[in-house]
Structure 1
Amino acid sequence: MTKHFTSSSPAGYEMNRNQTRGLTAAGLAIVAVTYGLARYCFGLFLPDIRQEFGLSSELIGLIAGLSYMGYLAATFTGSWLSTVFEPRLPILLGGIAATVGMGLIAWSPTPAVLAAGVFVAGTSPGLAYPPFSDVIVRHTEASRQNVVYAWINSGTGFGVAFAGPLALYAGGDWRLAWLVFAALALAITFWNALALPRRNVQSETGPRAVPLRILMDRTARTLFVSAFVFGVVTAVYWTYAVELLTMLTGNPRDAVLFWIVLGIAGVTGCFAGGLVNRWGLGGTYRLLAILVGASVGTLPLLVETRIGIYLSAACFGAGFIVMTALLGMWSMRIFRAAPSVGFGFTFFLLSLGQGVGPVLSGFLIPVTGHSMLFFAAGLMCCGLAAVRISDAAAARLP
């Protein structure tokens, strides 16, 4: 995202500071429940779920991959609805999907119902997240757009951090935790229904065409490749880190505390806009690729000490959230004419990678083991630091 946007929308009008704060808080909350809970928390409860249903590694990988496939099924729908009609509609649909999906997970009597719940929950961020790029461009003061986006994007960290203490309280009753998640998603959906601005009917006369041809922009190729590869490697961590720690340490409580640290560290993503403004897009990108890669690749080596486990969680949590914010800013620098379209496709590729990651890992783990899988994923992520960002995109903000 650039420091100053030129909105292509004829609806471009700004809210006052208090309205902007309310929008930011509501957006952060719905990202917390759709991304932080509905999409990423399956891995937190994986050991208990596996034990109750007697699931194999291959089946676990397929079910986990459904969360990301759900995102893929919804992301273009969310971007299309946002561009053609208004951002408010897909955002609220995303909240409803999170409620229904997590409710199905809580109730699931069979692995098939569990898989359906994981898929529906996975659609929620695809519907709710990309449209916020349009909301920010259309309705917030230009000088505050970086800050607003970074705070909303950091909602993932807040959601993950909230899930950890609840998991400790619920103990082995993972269904109770998912039921609480579903109730929270419903409440936050109602909050967003009140907080999100409606379309300015005086300025907008009807639906607008979605310019999909802008996705062919040659300067976006590096962005798209980076998003996909980053999705593949980080999905390994999100899906299997808790299981790896439980297996190697034999202490489920340490694994849950690890998750809490990961989420708290992710809250630092709210400072992503300032990092990019200060260090530039290219420098921040290379630093984050190495940081996240190191945290993934070294986790199997750090399990002997709690400090090592928590260090890996902190580096991954902060690095992941800031990197996703950076990818969003990068896409909005390129696709200024239709922010939600370019933004949506960038995160479509990120989630495509995150869908491939668990499925591929589920078949590799019986052959290579968890530790070797994490080593390989970490090296692949560090390799992203060699990617060169175009001068136009990497230029520092004035």
Structure 2
Amino acid sequence: MTKHFTSNFPAETKTQPPNLLGLTAAGLAIVAATYGLARYCFGLFLPEIRQEFALSTETIGLIAGLSYAGYLIATFAGSWLSTMVGPRLPIFLGGLSATAGMTLIGLSQSPEILAIGVFVAGMSPGLAYPPFSDVIVHHIETRRQNAIYAWINSGTGFGVALAGPLALLASEDWRLAWLIFAGLAGLFTIWNMMILPRNSPKHGKMSGVPISELLNPAARPLFAAALLFGVVTAIYWTYAVDLLLAITDNPAAAVVFWIVLGTAGITGCFAGGLVNRWGLRSSYGLLLILIGGAIATLPVAASIPSGIYYSAASFGAGFIITTALFGMWSMRIFRNTPSIGFGLTFFLISLGQGIGPVAGGYLAPQFGLPAVFVSAGLLCFVLALFRPAGKFHGHN
């Protein structure tokens, strides 16, 4: 029973890169910088940022939404550039965006500069992440693609886990933490430029993506699930620490919560093996139940120390593995244009993640943040209805 995604590119284009371990490690590192640090760590420092700039919940939601708006814009650029000129340039631009954006956040002295920094940093994964689907499909042999992709995708968990100890090291100086993040992003960008394969299949001949391919009926449940997944998970990423502090008034517990969240996300590196063993359809359904439960129960679990960490571990592992499944799902459907289909899928996830914080910022004052979490968790259960088909082009 074959579980790998495949491509219609000629076999000779799938050449093994000189250093497969180095490619995987460098890809994991740039994902850690762009996703784990530049995009998702705003929530970790939200209480300090809110206090320093005296920001309302509505304003916080709008600024957090800018991160996802930046990603939306950059996703198309990253996918298009990868298709036209190869993946190296957009990956470099993504690393540069992460470095510049987090530097702006660290140096910000006004809400306006903070917002610009959040926007620029948010662009980074949109530029750097979709091109890795081209790297994988064109340079990695089919039998190893799921495993390599899962390891690279797990970089988000590594980045989130790394942010926790750095936040403790920086203590209350949240600006120092962001400047350290920026320095790491710069180093990881240089590493990727040294390790990424230079020889890629011919680019530049594609004048556009056939509309019929993007409207493929097999992609409809993928796109619907991606959008809703973004909405519900953004609530957790943005407001979980805020909720914990409101209930427990314990900043140290909130940082440990973030470390557990990221560390659990590292298990995403095993997503390839999970799909190879259980199949995409079954794995997806079970993980959505796990994530929905973690979101819905956090308001109650927050009053119990072990409950906080159970929620963090469940969400962290479930989120990272599920994003890997979305990538595998999209690359099975869009075999001729992997970075375009992959980019569109994650564009919709990010569109939902842009809606989530803004909606949460306006709903929380009306109904309370706990009610927002419960509603988001219940909505996550609905995602189980949009599951992958049982077969993809003759493969189970």
TM range (shorter): over 0.9
Name 2:103's counterpart in structure 1: 103
Equivalent position amino acid for 1:292 in 2: I
Aligned equivalents of 1:9, 1:79: Cα separation in 2: 21
d(CA) in 1 for partners of 2:140, 2:208: 22
Distance 1:148 1:227, change over 3 A: same
Change in CA separation of 1:388 and 1:152 when aligned onto 2, cut-off 3 Å:
closer
**Structure-2 change in CA distance of 1:212 and 1:187 (3 Å):** farther
For residues 244-296 of structure 1, give each alpha carbon's deviation from its aligned partner in whole angstroms, at most 9, with x where no partner exists.
00110000110000000000000000000111111111111110110000000
Q: Is the Cα contact below 8 Å between 1:281 and 1:395 reproduced in 2?
A: no
Superposed CA offset, 1:20-47 (max 9, x none):
1110000000000000000000000000
Change (3 A) 1:373 1:279: same
Q: Deviations over 1:68-87 (max 9, x none)?
A: 00000100100000001101
Alignment of 1:1-398 (within 5 A): 3=4, 5-8=6-9, 12-15=13-16, 19-200=19-200, 204=202, 206-213=204-211, 214-393=213-392, 397=396
- CA distance in structure 1 between the aligned counterparts of 2:81 and 2:42, rounded to whole angstroms: 28
Contact 1:269 1:325 in 2 (8 A): yes
> Residues 80 and 44 (structure 1 numbering): CA distance in 2 closer, same or farther, change over 3 Å?
same
Distance 2:210 2:167 in 1: 42
* Mapped partners of 2:69, 2:54: distance in 1: 23
Shift of 1:308: 0.4
Q: What's the offset of the Cα at 1:396?
A: 6.6
CA distance in 1, matches of 2:285, 2:143: 26
Distance 1:93 1:286, change over 3 A: same
Counterparts of 2:143 and 2:204, CA distance in 1 = 29
Query: With structure 2 as the length reference, what TM-score do the two structures score?
Result: 0.96
Q: How far did residue 4 of structure 1 move?
A: 5.3
- Residue 159 and residue 116 in structure 1: after superposition, are their counterparts in 2 closer, same or farther (change >3 A)? same
What RMSD, in angstroms, separates the aligned Cα atoms of the two structures? 1.6
* Aligned equivalents of 1:20, 1:140: Cα separation in 2: 8
Distance 1:110 1:11, change over 3 A: farther
Q: Which runs of 5+ in 1 are unaligned?
A: none
> 1:210 deviation in Å?
3.4
Paired amino acid for 2:94: G
Please report how far the alpha carbon of residue 390 of structure 1 lies from its aligned counterpart in structure 2 after TM superposition: 2.1
TM-score normalised according to structure 1 size: 0.96
Q: Is the 8 A contact 2:292 2:376 kept in 1?
A: yes
- Indicate the SS of the match to 1:391: coil
Q: Which amino acid aligns with 2:152?
A: I
CA distance in 1, matches of 2:121, 2:186: 13
For each residue in 1:212-241, what CA deviation from the matched residue of structure 2 results, as whole angstroms up to 9, or x when unmatched?
422111110000000000000000000000
Q: Comparing 272-281 with 316-325, which one deviates more in the overlay?
A: 272-281
Tell me the secondary structure at the aligned position of residue 15 of structure 2.
coil
In the TM superposition, residue 170 of structure 1 has moved relative to its aligned partner by 1.1
Distance apart, 1:391 and its partner CA: 2.7
How far apart are residue 389 of structure 1 and its match? 2.8
Unaligned runs of 5+ in 2: none
The one-letter code sitting in structure 1 at the alignment partner of 2:155 is G
% identical equivalent positions: 62
Helix, strand or coil at the partner of 2:13: coil
Contact 1:150–1:273 at 8 Å: present in 2 too?
Answer: yes
Q: Kindly tell me: are residues 243 and 212 of structure 1, through their superposed partners in 2, closer, same or farther at Cα, counting changes over 3 Å? A: farther
- Amino acid of the structure 1 residue aligned with 2:139: H
Alpha-carbon deviation of 1:394? 10
Figure out how many residues of one structure are paired with residues of the other and give that number. 394
Looking at structure 1, the residues matched to 181 and 368 of structure 2 have their Cα atoms a distance apart, in angstroms, of: 32
Q: Measure the CA separation in 2 of the matches of 1:93 and 1:194.
A: 14
Contact 1:79 1:341 in 2 (8 A): yes
Whether the aligned pair in 1 keeps the contact of 2:224 and 2:386 (CA below 8 Å) is no
CA contact (8 A) 2:329 2:388 kept: no
Kindly state the Cα deviation for residue 205 of structure 1 after the two structures are TM-superposed. 7.1
The answer to whether the 8 Å contact 1:11/1:199 transfers is no
Task: Compute the displacement of 1:206 (Å).
Answer: 4.5
- Does the 8 Å CA contact 1:10/1:204 hold for their aligned counterparts? no
Q: CA 1:55–1:382 in 2, change beyond 3 Å: closer, same or farther?
A: same
Say if 1:101 and 1:315 are closer, same or farther in 2 by CA, change over 3 A: same
Of 268-277 and 345-354, more deviation after overlay is shown by: 268-277
1:209 Cα deviation from its structure 2 partner: 2.8
Matches of 1:394 and 1:118 in 2, distance apart? 41
Q: Secondary structure at the match of 1:80?
A: helix
